[in-house]
Structure 1
């Protein structure tokens, strides 16, 4: 039986370090894990309750919710901008957190990964993403996730899909998050 994993990347820059990590996760996923990457975060308008009505929901926001709903777990890949997550990722979480009581994040296992130029690898951004996800009802991994510091240097020396330490950490986090999904389903 296969499971579905959705990846969301907060960086909009093609080939960003976080995009490379998301692509590595997709490449490393075992055959029974179907991965999907939602790549249109830039095209989703800022969350506005006035347009969050059945006939007014923007197509890209609807598509994001549908992708999250059909997934068994979600991995969020975030850069760190000014000590926090980028607006695109926060906006995605806002759209996914609605409608209240029936959101696509409610009870959904989630993990957070980050890569930054700085040596701490985006820990502050991870904390903000984890906090927002928890408030939105996601089941966020107790583990910090994966934080890759000095990514510009590290990825220039070895792409993440070829870096044994990153490969192991991504695969462990992915399997742990999906295991949480199976545990939650078994509890219902």
Structure 2
């Protein structure tokens, strides 16, 4: 018999598929219930709205990414390796669950007038974490002294997001070889412009 945790996860997993296929704004809670194979009312037992479902999906994954950035930043690795670790985490997240990454990018981080604004502080924490890595690299002499860490972090995330967006619009998951190539080249492009 399914536990409450199992049912909640079942609803969240179904919501990922529905949001990715139909778009957040065009789907209904009943679509999520149908995809999860549960009664309509059960969705409302766990979540007050489809907005809360999207918030939950975003925050679950974003908090894991923030932890990965903080762990990389706190390590004794060179700044370039730290950035490679962060890029690898994000791109491997896409490889693991392309639909969830589509939902996060399309429905949250690019939705400046709705969810993007709601989660602006969380989104900016990721920029600040990467900016901290760049700043430490700059102070250690790995990166050029005139680099603006905040702008470098924005460029880093902009490049990663654009690669993911291209993959999302292609409509089918990318092979592991392409994900691995992107991990190497994103860091090469960014760090090539930063290094002293």
The two structures share one fold, judged by TM-score above 0.5: no
TM-score (norm 1): 0.31
Point out the structure with max Rg over C-alpha: 2
**TM-score, scaled relative to structure 2:** 0.30
Q: Give the structure with the higher percent helix.
A: 2
Q: Which has the higher contact order (CA 8 A, sep 6+)?
A: 1
Larger strand percent = 1
